Structure 1
Amino acid sequence: MLQLESRVVELSLQKLKSPQQVYIAYSGGVDSHVLLHLCAPMSLLQNKITAVHVHHGLQAVADVWPIHCRSIAEQLGVDFIDIYVDARSAGRESPEEAARNARYDALKALLSKNDVLMVAQHREDQLETVLLQLFRGAGLQGLSGMPEIMAFGKGVLLRPLLNTPKQIIDQYARQHDLNFIEDPSNQGIDFDRNFLRNEIVPLLKQRWPSIDKTVSRSAVHCAEASELLSKLACDQFKQVYQTKDATLSISALVKLDVAEQALVIRQWFASLGLKMPSRAFVLRILSMIQSPFGDLRLQNQKHTIRRFRNSLFCVPQQTVELPEQGVIWSNSEAPLDLPDGAELKIAYAPSGIDQSVWFRSHIDVRFRSGGEKIALPNRDGRHRLKNLYQEADIPPWERPSIPLIYLDGRLAAIADLWIGSEFYCENKPGCIRLIRSQKNKNRKGHDECVLVD
């Protein structure tokens, strides 16, 4: 039988730059104990290793595990930290998902640039992952299973034992007489992964003894195909994506066939940092292209898919309370925070509002109540805001939060869109221009093409 050696870890580490710090996720179980035992004596990791134990607070028996883990880390001469998290399920999260998310969030927070987190997932874990994804109807990305290396927080997550059989890990533990924790919850079948591990996989291995190896190979094939598909999706996405407002052009989208449209929709979700929609939901989105109907709400993601003119929007579901009396802009040289999270500030320009008028006026910012009109430079008559918004292709859901700037009680400007003719000046130094922008805008750029399903 094959022997497990530290060379396995070294080969994985060679695929990375020299790590600054190496954190090892150490539950105290046999797999993570073996990984820690392999890494502790490695010369290239000396003074870099920290064993990290995450306490989920879900079992009373687990309260003593950090003590055990700290003791083992001290015996192996590595640093140790324990982290307590609240892993209780919230919303529609499964208990498994809640625990995993809490654990990963805590571990991500540890990593700085060039840091590595090692986890001890092995080939049977990969088998279970692929089977779970298959039963959930996943596409190529899901059937690719777990990658050996992936970005994780500010650093990298590494699975050096991913192609190692479970029996080799157990054999190593016996040979070195390792003292590890047996988690009693692993013997139950309430959770999907435990059910697979304890009931289904043993039966499958009776019939196909090498199933973990062959399924792992299939996962590699799926990963390669997924990467090619992702490149195709990126190329098509860039033709359809509208950078200005993170929307999709419907006229460009309809030029693709249905399968390509679905790829673009999924890439759109990835670019927005959202979870991938189901196939049924993607098809509902595509049906909006052919026959517009009501908005589509994304359950548990607090976003809504909306169509306006030639664009598909993904709009946050947020309730913005707009003050009926407006907001006084007392220090008009400083930015003004707006209720929708944007800010309004001024800049000096060759044309805009006459600064002599601006600085001697009482300035207040109000929001649309209905019936407002404004006269514009070089245009006849007074114009209803509704008509101006329509001309400018401003979506209806954005209109209520557009700030209206009043000088001494008279409507002088509509955000940074229009300036009233009686306040407008040009060819004069130091005119006032308004700038409205979102603060802390955390949206991935459309060049970050990572297809997830």
Structure 2
Amino acid sequence: MKTCLDHALARWQFNGPVAIALSGGADSTALLLACWQRWPAQVAAIHVHHGLQDAADGFASFCQQLCQQCCIPLHIERVDARHQPGQSPEDAARKARYGALTAGAQALRQVHAVDVRSIALAQHADDQVETLLLALSRGAGLPGLSAMPAFWQRNHLDWHRPLLDVPGQALRQWLQGQGQAWIEDPTNEDQTFTRNRIRQQIMPALAEAFPTFRHTFARSSAHAAQAQQLLHEVAQEDWLRLEQKPSIRGLQQLSIARQANVLRFWLMQQQERASTVQLQELQRQIAACTTRGHAIHIKVGRGFVIREKDHLLWVK
């Protein structure tokens, strides 16, 4: 009898060899074993050793034993994931993890002769709901409400999340049916982390009140992602009309909504994002630019947006 995990992998447009981001937890262990059973010669693994907790060595040892047992090529990438002042621990760990996975894919190609061009992550339907709820709690716009994409490209790699339709409990049940153990992350019980509070307090209440919430929330995220894609296309068109320069006069001719949209597009090209307050103040200053002497100097992200003659610049 096929499980929802089997159906998820059957829908995945697999293009191996693929490296599974293997933490040793239930989700990534299930993804690794299921992929290995389905495509035995096309699967490798990358374990990111964050060094943030005493259990980190135990996670790495578990991953080594599992991969040796199945003859799966494994690369362990060690990183320093400590956060900088003003940076959230979760954000620091996430950035370190993606950098380590990219380095791990290169190591698999060079050291293990596995031509990895894709990386698969084990986030599932519950993780998707948590991401959406976090975005709502922060007052996020469409990019945040779109939650996590199932596919994207970065650093010359294809990145996949094939389990976004699979509930987390289904993965644990599948592992139990396989007789396969996994490692429990002790930080999952720490309710100082917002995600853990959502998982332990809010998700059970949602399941009781709205039994199909995973599917309906995912549908809302998909609608948000589609709307965001449309906004991106509008921003590209407006950017071309501005001759790919944030000219003050050109920006003043746009509606407030389109102006904000193309400003976000421009800032993303600088790898920066403006908060709602920063963007509103920038738009207020643009509207006030009726003379050559009107200066603009507004903090945005890690730098400032300034006026230089008739254009805006972002500077560190």
TM-score if structure 2 supplies the norm length?
Answer: 0.90
The one of 196, 219, 225 aligned to 1:194 = 196
Residue 13 (1) aligns with residue 13 (2) = yes
Residue 269 (1) aligns with residue 271 (2) = no
SS of the equivalent of 1:145 reads: coil
Aligned to 2:71: 77
The answer to whether the Cα contact below 8 Å between 2:46 and 2:104 also exists between their aligned partners in 1 is: no
Aligned to 2:134: 132
The answer to whether the Cα contact below 8 Å between 1:111 and 1:153 also exists between their aligned partners in 2 is: no
Distance in 2 between the 1:168 and 1:2 partners? 12
Aligned to 2:291: none
Distance in 1 between the 2:104 and 2:24 partners? 19
Distance in 1 between the 2:206 and 2:94 partners? 26
Residue 23 (1) aligns with residue 25 (2) = no
Aligned to 2:253: 255
Aligned to 1:167: 169
Q: Which runs of 4+ in 1 moved over 6 A?
A: none
Residue 147 (1) aligns with residue 141 (2) = no
SS of the equivalent of 1:170 reads: helix
Coordinate RMSD, CA, aligned? 1.8
Distance in 2 between the 1:225 and 1:61 partners? 42
User: Superposed, which structure 2 residues align to 1:256-405 within 5 Å?
Assistant: 256-274=254-272, 276-291=273-288, 292-299=294-301, 301=302, 303-315=303-315, 317=316
Aligned to 1:50: 44
The answer to whether the Cα contact below 8 Å between 1:6 and 1:39 also exists between their aligned partners in 2 is: no
TM-score if structure 1 supplies the norm length?
Answer: 0.64
Aligned to 2:94: 100
**Larger relative contact order (C-alpha < 8 A, sep ≥ 6)?**
2
The answer to whether the Cα contact below 8 Å between 1:144 and 1:219 also exists between their aligned partners in 2 is: yes
Aligned to 1:178: 180
Aligned to 1:217: 219
User: Max radius of gyration: which structure?
Assistant: 1
- Displacement of 1:5 after TM fit? 4.6
- Displacement of 1:294 after TM fit? 4.6
Distance in 2 between the 1:170 and 1:226 partners? 34
Aligned to 1:425: none
Distance in 2 between the 1:175 and 1:114 partners? 30
Distance in 2 between the 1:164 and 1:192 partners? 22
User: In structure 2, what residue type is equivalent to 1:68?
Assistant: F
Distance in 1 between the 2:55 and 2:79 partners? 16
User: Greater helix share, 1 or 2?
Assistant: 2
Residue 38 (1) aligns with residue 34 (2) = yes
- Displacement of 1:2 after TM fit? 6.7
The number of aligned residues is: 303
Aligned to 2:109: none
User: In structure 1, what residue type is equivalent to 2:265?
Assistant: Q
Distance in 2 between the 1:109 and 1:286 partners? 40
The answer to whether the Cα contact below 8 Å between 1:53 and 1:83 also exists between their aligned partners in 2 is: yes
Aligned to 2:118: 116
User: In structure 2, what residue type is equivalent to 1:252?
Assistant: G
Give the gaps of 5 or more residues in structure 1.
318-453
User: In structure 2, what residue type is equivalent to 1:221?
Assistant: H
Distance in 2 between the 1:281 and 1:102 partners? 27
User: In structure 1, what residue type is equivalent to 2:284?
Assistant: S
User: In structure 1, what residue type is equivalent to 2:214?
Assistant: D
The answer to whether the Cα contact below 8 Å between 1:2 and 1:168 also exists between their aligned partners in 2 is: no
| 1:240–1:111 Cα change, 3 Å | farther
Question: Identity of paired residues, percent?
Answer: 35
- Displacement of 1:6 after TM fit? 4.0
Give the gaps of 5 or more residues in structure 2.
107-114, 289-293
User: In structure 2, what residue type is equivalent to 1:67?
Assistant: S
The answer to whether the Cα contact below 8 Å between 2:46 and 2:105 also exists between their aligned partners in 1 is: no
